[in-house]
Chain A
Amino acid sequence: MSTTTRADGVLDGFDPEIASRLVTRRDAIAKGAVTSGLVMAGLRIGTVPAALAALSTSAFGQGRLPTVVNGILNFALVLEYLEAEFYNRGIAAPNLIPAADRNIFLTIQGHENTHVDYLKNTLGASARPKPTFDYSYGNGSGTGPFADVFTNYTTFKAVAQAFEDTGVRAYKGQAPSLMPYKDVLQAALTIHSVEARHAAEVRRLRGNFADNEPNQGWITRAITDIPGTEAVYAGEDNLIQGGIDITTITTVASKELTEAFDEPLTMAQVLAIVDPFIV
């Protein structure tokens, strides 16, 4: 698949230029375990931005994010750039979003731009620049399957759903790697759950809030009604959790069991999915 090469190219951009000044892994873990009062104050009141800002300066020192954190936050930044510009363009497009639905997308637009801002602030000079996007999913051709995304509201909503569900899986997949860095982990999780709220809302909106399958807030099996997004939902029909076949330990039906657990994607899987959006 040609996307593999391109995905690797995107990954190349994540390599920090400040490797020689990075703290050692052991130091980073030790420092990650020490939670400064400022960080905790930010977390308690839910102001993760303050916590993130405090992280980059106090926990690790300016410009000294550990390599793994740098890579994951830059990965997240690419996805947030992708989402933010998508909603910015959608909101600006004339006659695209009906007035009745505008508050939904204004809310999401605001959040994604906020996520971009704070990831950039946290990464500082290590933040990768915003790529050029092709929202037609055409690798820069502008003629991909979603070519009418900013003139056809149905397409716009479908792409929004794919972005949000992908974002949820992307953050989820990185959480274990952030484990040694407790404050970064918590910050990422507080974004992760907001992406899930977005996903649920867009999914229900696509069904005009009738809540009929598959246009519900949650993902049933690996089902998608959006052609070309099969990879976004691959594996969501998993019924083995923590080594347990969950169909054997409850009376809940398998359909609802697949809905009850969202599944992660690896960084490579996510980059392969979004690659045709990146010029």
Chain B
Amino acid sequence: MTSPLHTSENRLASDGDSVSMARRNFLRTAGLAGAAIAFAGCSGTTTELTAPVRSGSPTGAVVGPNGAITLDFSSDIDVLNYAYALEQLEAAFYVTAASNAAFTSIFAANEQRVLLDIRDHEVAHRDFFGAALGTAKIPNLTPAFGAISFADRTSVLQTARTFEDLGVSAYNGAARFLTDAGYLGLAGKIVSVEARHAAAIRDLLNTRSGDFAPNAFDAGNTPQFVLAAADPFIVESITVINA
């Protein structure tokens, strides 16, 4: 089955004369013409699967000279970049936590399994968005984790809870800005995994309680709210427009 996303990616990756009206329309709303920024060496081991966007074509987020990022939510690309930013943050957090010398002493074996799995899932999400966005992706973000005590079980778990709940609310609140059903479907595949993480982390903090799901309805937070909450953990400033 060909998903709408697949179709859109083909449109983004296609070239020259075969460009359809649909693609022209998609790109017109998806990006910001002429804002090409080079991010040499920022993609790590990630392989870009989409063809390079041609010069003068929309490229997604605008990055200022000081590294400040502006995401335009009238573009699906930048809604995905928003998700990419949050996944970068989560992945960096769990990678840092799991590589701390105290990790194996402050967490029981079952807790380590939970946290290592979540680390892998977040890295997978990060790498997926990086690959799917290709040259339209925002640069690697710089984490600011100075306030987190990675040798302290409670500090790690409470921060994890914050990130997971925030991630769930971010996807729930950003879905309305997507115009491509395939992208929406992908966001849906990821948000429920974030919710599973949130439940597991909450249970590690308060086992066998009702804390795993504190409300019958999760929040759907605006990107402005989410980015403000994430801001203390990210060096670069991220601003959203048209949301």
Contacts from A to B (Cβ < 8 Å): 43-44, 46-49, 100-101, 103-104, 106-108, 110-111, 114-115, 168, 172, 175-176, 179, 182-183, 185-187, 189-201, 204-205, 209-212, 216-218, 241-244, 246, 248-253, 256-257, 259-264
B24-32, B140-148, B190-198: which lies at the interface? B190-198
Given A186-B175, A201-B203, A201-B212; A261-B193 close (CB under 8 Å): yes
Q: Which of A101, A196, A248 contacts B195 (CB 8 A)?
A: A196
- Whether B212 pairs with A200 at a CB distance below 8 angstroms is yes
Report A-chain residues with C-beta under 8 Å of the C-beta of B110: 209-212
Report A-chain residues with C-beta under 8 Å of the C-beta of B45: 250-251
Instruction: Report the separation of the CA atoms of residues A22 and B209 in the bound assembly, to the nearest whole angstrom.
Output: 44
Chain A residue, CB-CB nearest to B172: A189
Instruction: Report the separation of the CA atoms of residues A211 and B10 in the bound assembly, to the nearest whole angstrom.
Output: 40
Q: Is B6 an interface residue (CB 8 A)?
A: yes
Give the interface SS of chain B, mostly helix, strand, loop or mixed: helix
10 contacts between A and B (CB under 8 A): A106-B210, A107-B210, A172-B189, A176-B181, A186-B175, A197-B212, A218-B196, A242-B9, A246-B124, A249-B130
Q: Is B238 an interface residue (CB 8 A)?
A: no
Instruction: Report the separation of the CA atoms of residues A114 and B218 in the bound assembly, to the nearest whole angstrom.
Output: 13
- Whether B188 pairs with A192 at a CB distance below 8 angstroms is yes
Q: Which of B113, B171, B172, B175 contacts A211 (CB 8 A)?
A: B113
- Whether B189 pairs with A241 at a CB distance below 8 angstroms is yes
- Whether B186 pairs with A189 at a CB distance below 8 angstroms is no
- Whether A189 pairs with B188 at a CB distance below 8 angstroms is yes
- Whether A103 pairs with B208 at a CB distance below 8 angstroms is yes
- Whether A201 pairs with B171 at a CB distance below 8 angstroms is no
Within residues 174 to 209 of chain B, which ones have a CB less than 8 A from any CB in chain A? 175-176, 178-179, 181-186, 188-200, 203, 207-209
Q: Is B3 an interface residue (CB 8 A)?
A: yes
Nearest Cβ distance between residue A103 and chain B, in whole angstroms? 5
Q: Which of B10, B47, B209 contacts A103 (CB 8 A)?
A: B209
Could you say which interface size class chain B belongs to? 35 or more
Given A111-B213, A179-B181; A262-B193 close (CB under 8 Å): yes
Q: A107-B212, A199-B196, A201-B199 are in contact. List 13 more A-B contacts (CB 8 A).
A: A103-B209, A111-B213, A192-B195, A196-B192, A196-B199, A197-B199, A200-B195, A217-B114, A218-B117, A241-B186, A260-B125, A262-B190, A264-B188
- Whether B208 pairs with A192 at a CB distance below 8 angstroms is no
Q: Is B173 an interface residue (CB 8 A)?
A: yes
Report B-chain residues with C-beta under 8 Å of the C-beta of A259: 117, 120-121, 193
Most A Cβ at <10 Å: residue of B186, B189, B198: B189
Q: Which of B46, B181, B217 contacts A250 (CB 8 A)?
A: B46
Given A201-B213, A252-B127, A260-B125; A186-B172 close (CB under 8 Å): yes
- Whether B123 pairs with A192 at a CB distance below 8 angstroms is no
Q: Is B37 an interface residue (CB 8 A)?
A: no
Contacts from B to A (Cβ < 8 Å): 3-6, 9-10, 45-47, 49, 110-111, 113-114, 117, 120-121, 123-125, 127-128, 130-132, 168-169, 171-173, 175-176, 178-179, 181-186, 188-200, 203, 207-210, 212-213, 215-222, 225
Instruction: Report the separation of the CA atoms of residues A86 and B172 in the bound assembly, to the nearest whole angstrom.
Output: 27
- Whether A168 pairs with B192 at a CB distance below 8 angstroms is yes
Report B-chain residues with C-beta under 8 Å of the C-beta of A257: 124
Instruction: Report the separation of the CA atoms of residues A191 and B56 in the bound assembly, to the nearest whole angstrom.
Output: 42
Most B Cβ at <10 Å: residue of A48, A100, A190: A190
Report A-chain residues with C-beta under 8 Å of the C-beta of B184: 175-176, 179
